[in-house]
Amino acid sequence: MKKTATRLADGRELIYYDASDDVVRDALDQRPLDPVATAAEIRHDRLLGDSVAIASHRQGRTYHPPADECPLCPSRDGRRSEIPAADYDVAVFENRFPSLAGEHGRCEVVCFTSDHDASFADLTEGQAALVLEAWTDRTAELSQLPGVQQVFCFENRGAEIGVTLGHPHGQIYAYPFVTPRTERMLASLAAHRAATGRNLFDDVLADELADGRRIVLEGEHWVAFVPYAAHWPYEVHLYPKRRVPDLLALDDAARTEFPQIYLEVLRRFDRIFAGWDGGGGAARDGGGGAARDGGGGAAGAAPTPYISAWHQAPVRAADRSRFALHLELFTIRRTSGKLKFLAGSESGMNVFINDVPPEAAADRLREVASE
């Protein structure tokens, strides 16, 4: 991998990650950009203990531009984008409309490929491995920034999720605090250790492997499963079998196998609703029924919207080795043509109600395995 760092016209950092060592990245950003002005601040919710980012400047961010004006495509034919080069493998740059900035953290955009019409699932294993290297490198770099407490690599995919740019990309947030979700994991981890003397992450993984009903895919170094108490209709957790705290700690064997496992899981996500009834109640959305449409009516359905999120140990945790790096992937679609909305119980009280039994979801994800 070759890493080349440069600056955009407004001073933001841009980094190219190339598979070939002989690539030269010398294209300059010639856009007449003003310096980025942000109004990000962090406010503390005294009742819940949460931190909330207030970022009013994001109201002006780019919103569903046509493909020929995509800011994440390479610059071509006089059309200048956030990527000055005419082509690229993987590119990472500081977000022009960050939720976190300055002393309040940092936000970056990760462009997985220069192909506007692709998705992560379309990448080759080599391309996916390069993205993994970029995630790892950015985790290392961002962890060194003063005040950063947690590094979060993630991908939002699909208009239903709220994505405003169709180009295949993800983001990285460097938080100046430990996120509420991670705080809850750490509390559960500590309580389990106090009660049993064992590691909770290890026990969860061992229990899933022993049960077997919710295992979606297992390799030599990784295992993907639907969790016992899945919050979302189709939710998969991907763990390395050897517990490590973050992406930097993965060994070469795990890095080599990751693209194989992850790409297969993503491709299954794109197939889980194909051929299923789009309006009925029994299409695997509630009771594991077998209602197919018989004619493949949903086979041409839009790609599955999802969120893919890496969970890494907080940068300055007391004993980071007890945390288990893992990826959580889920979709808000519960069956063809129907979304899982976070309504009263979920949004008001944070109590999820899942219409799809985790065992039925795992069955379906095994059914759509690649030939």
Which helix (H) or strand (E) segment is 327 a member of? Answer: strand 326-331
Residue of 219, 226, 165, 162 lying closest to 365 (CA atoms): 226
Please report which residue ranges of the chain form alpha helices under DSSP H.
125-143, 180-196, 200-211, 252-269, 349, 358-367
Residue 329, Cα to own-chain centre: how many angstroms?
7
The answer to whether 270 and 303 are in contact (CB under 8 A) is yes
Q: Do strands 326-331 and 234-240 pair parallel, antiparallel, or not at all (unpaired)?
A: antiparallel
The answer to whether 270 and 329 are in contact (CB under 8 A) is no
Cα(52)–Cα(175) distance, integer angstroms: 11
Task: Give the pair of three-digit tokens for residue 168.
Answer: 């295949």
Please report which residue ranges of 28-80 form alpha helices under DSSP H.
none
231 tagged catalytic = no
3-state DSSP call for residue 192?
Answer: helix
Set 169, 221, 311, 326: catalytic member: 169
CB-based contacts of 190: which residues, under 8 Å, 6+ apart?
Answer: none
Degrees to nearest 5, angle at CA 188 with 187 and 193 = 100
Instruction: Check residue 24 and give left, alpha or beta (phi > 0: left; psi -120 to 50: alpha).
Output: beta
The answer to whether 108 and 148 are in contact (CB under 8 A) is no
The answer to whether 258 and 242 are in contact (CB under 8 A) is no
Cα(15)–Cα(87) distance, integer angstroms: 13
Cα(220)–Cα(240) distance, integer angstroms: 9
Cα(235)–Cα(225) distance, integer angstroms: 8
Q: Largest Cα–Cα distance of the chain, in whole Å?
A: 64
Task: Give the pair of three-digit tokens for residue 30.
Answer: 């010639």
Which sequence positions are flagged as catalytic? 169
